[in-house]
Amino acid sequence: MIITLEAVYSFLGIITLLGSVYTFLDRKNIRRFTSGLFYLLYGTTLLLGKILPPALIGIFVMIMVVIAGFGGLKLGHYGENSSEQRESSRLRLKNRLFIPALLIPILTVIGSEGLIGVKWFGLYLFDPKNVTLISLGVAALIALVVGLMITKNSPITSIKESRRLLEAIGWAAVLPQMLATLGTLFDRAGVGKIVSHLVVEVIPAHSLFWAVFAYCVGMALFTMVMGNAFAAFPVMTAGIAIPLLIGHFGIEANRIAAIGMFAGYCGTLLTPMAANFNIVPAALLDLKDKNHVIKIQMPTAILLLAVNVMLMYFVAR
Amino acid sequence: MVLIGVGIVIIGFLLRLNSLLVVTVAGIVTGLVAGESPYQILVEFGKAFTVNRYMAIFIATLPVIGLLERNGLREQAEVLVSKMRAATTGRLLTLYLFIREVAAALGLSAIGGQPQMVRPLVAPMAEGAAEAKYGDLPDDVRQTIRAHSAAVDNIGLFFGEDIFIAVGAILLMNGFFQQNHISANPILMALWGIPTAISVFLIHSTRLYLLDRALKRRLGNHVDVSTISMREGMPK
């Protein structure tokens, strides 16, 4: 293989590590050492995750969590363009600004569909097992080069800008990876099995419809409780979809995964636990009732949940 | 007992503790309950964190997105959105729903957002469209229109995003199935999301049509061709 997934992870690691150097030097950041350390460790796990012993990565992760959990992550100064500068370059570039951004999905699809199995000097160009992720990494790199050509900015500017974006996301950048990690840990501890026992007790045996119903509604309810669908997906899928839908009824995972996740999103629309989406906007918009956005979303969410159940049932049949 | 981890997540999120901390504590406790040593737990965390690095792939897009934002990407998106012309509040929000959903499906979820787009642009424009038609609006109508503006942004984002293969949800599903040795393909998973994405657009645009009808019933055919600017609809 010429380009492996590890090469893409190295790209991510290098971006993050280079950014952390600027964080250590950022005097405007009142916690520049802990903030810098957070991104240094994160970048290291991305770059060297395969090489370093797992226990050491575990320690790095714990240090990152402690930094993030106790206020060690602060924002600094990012030397952004002023709004006048942004306006003048916007007027120069107009809709060309969208070209590099759109190149990412287009090239990713072309790469994943077109370059699977393509060989060069007898070697696979992309690792066939991870062709989508590698295509995305390569697409992002090409888009970056095109972006640099269009904007005539230097590569260093793009590193600084990616640091700005990453630090604006902050610890939330690591959260999806941690939720996936928690899903893996839950799975190993057998949380899914308990869910599946509960479900098998309740639903009529061998009923495809009720298995689909339990999975979709379970995703929505568990998402409402946990506040996001990422934490619910591994548990409900390990508990219901894998043993019943995929195992017992033999349905292809590809066909039901997205619908299951969408059923979870119906739950996200209904829960104050997803504060970013449902509670914060109410404050931003001066709404008197902080659950007003949820109330507006409720009919769409419930109807769509019903649609998801039906869709999954027909896809599965 | 194993469910104690789920309980910790719920309590932690209810208390609004730092989510990263809550998730980690839930993982540690789940490991302890399962009878693992602290060292084993560290190893498990390290392994799982490494296996799940695919969730970080969005970092690859940050340099180019940051570069474009530096050169006015958001402002250009704002200009395009502010050019939306629609006769009614419902149609305006339907148009924004469409833009938001399609943009998210193309991986441009940075276009839109509650603080960036809804508060300064979409909500005032939606209110402005109703004002242009019915004159001054009662306060509860204003509140409903604003809540609808926020809802449209969420709905467009959630159900558009999963069609883009590099988004967290698809990667999470792919990684989860891989770890469970079940064959999965991100592109096919994204494609099977399309029927839901279309359904939600149909459902929600119907509701926005009904919103227009409700506004008309409530506020009548009073045509007030006042000179209210579309952007000044929101009181400070």
Contacts of A91 in chain B (CB under 8 A): 72
> Which of A138, A169, A200 marks a domain boundary?
A169
Contacts of B60 in chain A (CB under 8 A): 8, 11-12, 15, 136-137, 140-141
So what's the pLDDT on residue B236? 39
Q: Do B150 and A191 touch (CB under 8 A)?
A: no
What is the arithmetic mean of pLDDT over A12-33? 95
Residues A100, A233 within the same domain = no
What is the arithmetic mean of pLDDT over A218-242? 87
- Give the position of tokens 């696979």: A124
10 Å CB burial of residue B49 (0-12, 13-18, 19+) is buried
CB neighbourhood size of A105 (10 A): 20
Residue B199 contacts A where some CB pair is shorter than 8 Å: yes
Q: Do B169 and A183 touch (CB under 8 A)?
A: no
> Which of A139, A169, A199 marks a domain boundary?
A169
Q: Do B18 and A68 touch (CB under 8 A)?
A: yes
Reported confidence tier of residue A205, pLDDT bands at 50, 70, 90: low
Chain B residue with CA closest to A177: the answer is B55
Residue B6 contacts A where some CB pair is shorter than 8 Å: yes
* Percent of chain A with pLDDT strictly greater than 70: 99
How far apart are the CA of B215 and the nearest CA of chain A, in angstroms?
Answer: 15
Distance CA A234, CA A97 (A): 37
Name the average pLDDT for chain A: 89
So what's the pLDDT on residue B223? 52
- Contact between B44 and B31 under an 8 Å Cβ cutoff? The reply is yes
Q: Do B72 and A140 touch (CB under 8 A)?
A: no
What are all long-range contacts of B7-10, with beta carbons under 8 Å and residues at least 24 apart?
A: B9/A182, B9/A226, B9/A231, B10/A225, B10/A226
CA distances (Å), origin B159, targets A316, B102, B167, B169: 21, 10, 12, 11
So what's the pLDDT on residue B71? 93
For residue B96, give both structure tokens: 């924004």
The DSSP line for chain A is: --B-HHHHHHHHHHHHHHHHHHHHT-TT-TTHHHHHHHHHHHHHHHHHTTTS-HHHHHHHHHHHHHHHHTT--------PPPHHHHHHHHHHHGGGGHHHHHHHHHHHHHHHHHSTT-EETTEESB-GGGHHHHHHHHHHHHHHHHHHHHH---HHHHHHHHHHHHHHHGGGGTHHHHHHHHHHHHHHHTHHHHHHHHHHHHSPTT-HHHHHHHHHHHHHHHHHHHSSHHHHHHHHIIIIIIIIIIIIS---HHHHHHHHHHHHHHHHTT-TTSHHHHTHHHHHTT-SSTTHHHHHHHHHHHHHHHHHHHHHHHHH-
Chain B residue with CA closest to A156: the answer is B63
More confident residue, A125 or A73: A73
Contacts of A79 in chain B (CB under 8 A): none
Residues A161, A189 within the same domain = no
Reported confidence tier of residue A209, pLDDT bands at 50, 70, 90: very high
For residue A159, give both structure tokens: 């590193």
Q: Which among B154, B164, B172 has CB closest to A176?
A: B172
Q: Where is average pLDDT lowest: A45-49, A145-149, A151-155, B218-222?
A: B218-222
Q: Which among B19, B62, B166 has CB closest to A136?
A: B166
Q: Which among A68, A284, A288 has CB closest to B114?
A: A284
So what's the pLDDT on residue B233? 38
- Contact between A234 and B182 under an 8 Å Cβ cutoff? The reply is no
What is the arithmetic mean of pLDDT over A178-195? 80
CA distances (Å), origin A9, targets A22, A137, A144, B60, B118: 21, 9, 16, 9, 35
Q: Strand A123-124 to strand A119-120: parallel, antiparallel, or no bridges (unpaired)?
A: antiparallel
Best probe of the A interface among B100, B127, B153, B158, by most A CBs < 10 A, is B158
Q: Which among B34, B46, B68 has CB closest to A61?
A: B46
Q: Do A159 and B63 touch (CB under 8 A)?
A: yes
Residue B5 contacts A where some CB pair is shorter than 8 Å: yes
Strand partners, A124: A119
- Contact between B79 and A95 under an 8 Å Cβ cutoff? The reply is no
Reference A177, options B221, B53, B119, B224; nearest CA is B53
Q: Which among A86, A144, A173 has CB closest to B63?
A: A144
The DSSP line for A239-256 is: IIIIIIIIIIS---HHHH
Q: Is the pLDDT of residue A304 over 50?
A: yes
Chain A residue with CA closest to B31: the answer is A189
Residues A260, A117 within the same domain = no
Contacts of B44 in chain A (CB under 8 A): 54, 58, 185, 188
Q: Do B2 and A104 touch (CB under 8 A)?
A: no
Q: Give residue-wise pLDDT tens across range A251-267.
A: 999 999 999 999 999 99
So what's the pLDDT on residue A294? 96
So what's the pLDDT on residue A259? 94
Single-letter code of the amino acid located at A255: R
So what's the pLDDT on residue B171? 84
For residue A146, give both structure tokens: 């095109």
State the maximum Cα–Cα separation within chain A, in Å, rounded to a whole number: 66
Domain span at residue A238?
175-316
Q: Is the pLDDT of residue A232 over 90?
A: no
Contacts of A258 in chain B (CB under 8 A): 162, 169-170, 173, 189-190, 192-193, 196
Reference B26, options B14, B11, B36; nearest CA is B11
ipTM computed for the complex: 0.86
Q: CA B139, B140, B143, B148 torsion: positive or negative? A: negative
Q: Do A105 and B106 touch (CB under 8 A)?
A: yes
Report how many Cβ contacts below 8 Å link chain A to chain B: 421
SS3 content of chain B, % helix, strand, coil (to 5): 75, 0, 25
Q: How many domains does chain A have?
A: 2
Q: Which among B46, B147, B183 has CB closest to A57?
A: B46
> Which strand (E) or helix (H) includes residue B196?
helix B194-219
- Give the position of tokens 């066939």: A128
Residue B106 contacts A where some CB pair is shorter than 8 Å: yes
Chain A residue with CA closest to B105: the answer is A105
How far apart are the CA of B224 and the nearest CA of chain A, in angstroms?
Answer: 25
Question: What burial letters (b/e) apply to A6-36, b meaning 16+ CB within 10 Å?
Answer: bebbbbbbebbbbbbebbeebeebebbebbb
Q: Give residue-wise pLDDT tens across range A78-133.
A: 988 888 999 999 999 988 988 998 898 888 888 887 777 777 777 778 777 788 88
Q: Do A56 and B46 touch (CB under 8 A)?
A: yes
State whether residue B19 is helix, strand or coil.
helix
Residues A7, A114 within the same domain = yes
Residues A139, A268 within the same domain = no
So what's the pLDDT on residue B106? 83
Q: How many whole angstroms from its chain centre is CA B118?
A: 11
So what's the pLDDT on residue B230? 41
Cα-Cα end-to-end distance for chain B: 51
List all residues of chain B from 111 to 140 with a beta carbon under 8 Å from chain A: 114-115, 118-119, 123
Q: Which among B10, B47, B64 has CB closest to A100?
A: B64
Chain B residue with CA closest to A103: the answer is B106
Query: pLDDT tens per residue, chain B (236 residues)?
Result: 677 888 888 888 778 788 889 889 988 998 888 888 999 999 989 998 998 898 888 899 899 989 999 998 888 888 887 887 777 999 999 999 999 999 888 877 777 788 878 988 899 899 989 988 888 899 999 999 999 999 999 999 999 988 876 677 888 888 888 888 898 888 888 889 899 999 999 999 999 999 999 999 988 765 544 444 444 333 33
> Which of A169, A193, A220 marks a domain boundary?
A169
Q: Is the pLDDT of residue A220 over 80?
A: yes
